[in-house]
């Protein structure tokens, strides 16, 4: 689907519009004998047609969600979810599961607060029962939202959603990643001192479709990512840099601008370990699709040093992020994207919310 939006509860179930050309699950026709009485001297046989491939079911679910979201029909949008579906995204309250009825309530609130809200995917990945969507969410704050009066200001931010589908092609689990501080800042309810990315415009590019590729290459890329993430705990800057292409670009969407080149990457590595000497980056899921690897990561550590202008809290905590790595033909990471929530970071590590822009200042 495109997205569910939960701002601090803004839930958005992402939809992939057209869907990708992922793995197709093929089922052969089945023949079963009836337990009832025989007729015409033989058993009754019932022949069912071939089951619709999972990839096609997923595409239909996403298309239906897309249409419902565009019409701002929350009830129809949540029909894309299974009855036992769960949705989670990092917020100042942590990374907690929410059920189907909560998804609908938050969509209704979103549509009321942002009557022109739009979800525009830019890149879609599909493999088996997993769909990952990158995109841009835009809207104008012309209605009351989460207790905040309308400001008439526009927002536009990058998001990423990871979706898992059941055998019926319905969403059974969704993880959404986006920076709440950026949205609140755009609409005038965040910390005015916080540096933000510019308001993203609605993309006009053609959606990039990524599907499964060479399994041996995907396996190799997966191992590279595991070693890359392990380099933090090992404090191994050589292993960290070795995985990167010379022209690496790192787009961390919780930061105001991209970082480019190995030198910038090495500097950031050192600064992060200076702040969190016991830092661990533990992948909770890793999916290799084509020349990309998507890794959901739990970042744990103790904030023993300053992080830029943010003073050390001495507090231990956990924050959740998702990284996307693109590999070049030489097996090096040439681009990396990161999505997370500064609101979750602030709460997890005891950083003042006003410093992180986690929400509007209290009056």
CATH of the domain at 64: 3.10.450.50
Domain match, 87 and 190 both: yes
For the cut 60, the answer to whether the pLDDT of residue 44 exceeds it is: no
Q: What is the mean pLDDT of residues 243-265?
A: 96
Domain match, 195 and 250 both: no
For the cut 70, the answer to whether the pLDDT of residue 4 exceeds it is: no
Express as a percent the part of the chain with pLDDT over 90. 77
Higher pLDDT among residues 21 and 115, named by residue: 115
256 assigned to some structural domain? yes
What local confidence, expressed as pLDDT, does residue 31 receive?
32
Q: For 281-340, how does the pLDDT look when each residue is reduced to its tens digit (9 = 90+)?
A: 999 999 999 999 999 999 999 999 998 878 999 999 999 999 999 999 999 999 999 999
274 assigned to some structural domain? yes
288 assigned to some structural domain? yes
Domain end marker among 183, 210, 237 = 210
Domain match, 186 and 231 both: no
Using CA atoms, how far apart are residues 165 and 62, in angstroms rounded to an integer?
Answer: 11
Domain end marker among 210, 236, 252 = 210
Domain match, 181 and 86 both: yes
Pairing mode of beta strands 171-177, 154-165: antiparallel
312 assigned to some structural domain? yes
Domain match, 304 and 339 both: yes
Q: What is the mean pLDDT of residues 54-61?
A: 97
Domain match, 191 and 257 both: no
Q: Which long-range contacts (CB under 8 A, 24 or more apart) does 269-273 make?
A: 269/231, 269/232, 269/237, 269/240, 269/241, 270/237, 271/307, 272/232, 272/307, 273/232, 273/235
Express as a percent the part of the chain with pLDDT over 70. 84
Domain match, 244 and 295 both: yes
Domain match, 189 and 149 both: yes
Q: For 147-204, how does the pLDDT look when each residue is reduced to its tens digit (9 = 90+)?
A: 889 999 999 999 999 999 999 999 999 999 999 889 999 999 988 888 899 999 999 9
- CB-based contacts of 322: which residues, under 8 Å, 6+ apart? 160, 162, 175, 177, 294, 295, 296, 297, 338, 339, 340
Q: How many domains does the chain divide into?
A: 2
Domain match, 189 and 248 both: no
| Cβ 94 vs Cβ 344: under 8 Å | yes
Higher pLDDT among residues 358 and 140, named by residue: 140
Domain of residue 344, residue span = 213-356
For the cut 70, the answer to whether the pLDDT of residue 1 exceeds it is: no
Beta bridge partners of 143: none
- Cα dihedral 327, 59, 160, 267, rounded to 10, equals 0
347 assigned to some structural domain? yes
Q: For 101-144, how does the pLDDT look when each residue is reduced to its tens digit (9 = 90+)?
A: 999 999 999 999 999 999 999 999 999 999 999 999 999 999 99
What local confidence, expressed as pLDDT, does residue 146 receive?
84
Domain match, 352 and 219 both: yes
Domain match, 280 and 319 both: yes
94 assigned to some structural domain? yes
User: Which range has the worst mean pLDDT, 28-37, 99-108, 264-273?
Assistant: 28-37
Domain match, 206 and 259 both: no
236 assigned to some structural domain? yes
264 assigned to some structural domain? yes
For the cut 80, the answer to whether the pLDDT of residue 355 exceeds it is: no
Let me know if 359 is exposed, middle or buried by CB neighbors in 10 A (0-12, 13-18, 19+).
buried
Higher pLDDT among residues 98 and 43, named by residue: 98
Domain end marker among 161, 182, 210 = 210
What local confidence, expressed as pLDDT, does residue 309 receive?
79
């Amino acid at each position: 689907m495109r997205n569910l939006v939960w701002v601090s509860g803004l839930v958005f179930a992402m939809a992939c519009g057209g869907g990708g050309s992922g793995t197709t699950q093929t089922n052969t026709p089945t023949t079963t004998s009836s337990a009832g009485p025989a007729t015409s001297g033989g058993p009754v046989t019932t022949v069912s047609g071939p089951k619709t491939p999972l990839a096609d079911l997923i595409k239909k679910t996403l298309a239906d969600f897309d249409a419902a979201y565009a019409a701002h029909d929350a009830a129809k949008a949540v029909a894309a979810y299974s009855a036992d579906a769960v949705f989670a995204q990092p917020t100042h309250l942590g990374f907690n599961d929410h059920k189907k009825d909560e998804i609908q309530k938050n969509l209704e609130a979103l549509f009321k607060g942002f009557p022109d809200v739009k979800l525009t995917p830019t890149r879609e990945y599909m493999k088996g029962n997993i769909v990952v969507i990158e995109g841009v969410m835009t809207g104008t704050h012309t209605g009351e939202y989460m207790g905040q009066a309308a400001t008439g200001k526009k927002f536009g931010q990058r998001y990423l959603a990871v979706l898992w589908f059941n055998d019926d092609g319905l969403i059974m689990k969704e993880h959404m990643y986006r920076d709440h501080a950026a949205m609140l800042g755009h609409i005038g309810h965040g910390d005015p001192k916080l540096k933000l990315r510019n308001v993203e415009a609605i993309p006009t590019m053609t959606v990039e479709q990524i599907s499964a590729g060479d399994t041996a290459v995907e396996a190799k890329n997966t191992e590279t990512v595991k070693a890359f993430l392990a380099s933090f705990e090992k404090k191994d800057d050589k292993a960290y840099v070795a995985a990167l292409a010379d022209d690496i670009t790192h787009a961390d969407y919780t930061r105001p601008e991209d970082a480019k080149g190995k030198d910038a990457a090495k500097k950031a590595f050192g600064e992060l370990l200076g702040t969190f000497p016991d830092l661990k980056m533990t992948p909770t899921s890793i999916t290799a699709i084509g020349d990309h690897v998507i890794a959901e990561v739990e970042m744990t550590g103790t904030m023993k040093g300053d992080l830029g202008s943010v003073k050390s809290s001495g507090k231990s905590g956990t924050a959740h992020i998702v990284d996307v790595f693109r590999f070049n033909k030489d097996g090096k990471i040439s681009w990396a994207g990161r999505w997370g929530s500064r609101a979750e970071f602030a709460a997890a590590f005891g950083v003042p919310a006003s410093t992180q822009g986690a929400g509007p200042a209290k009056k």
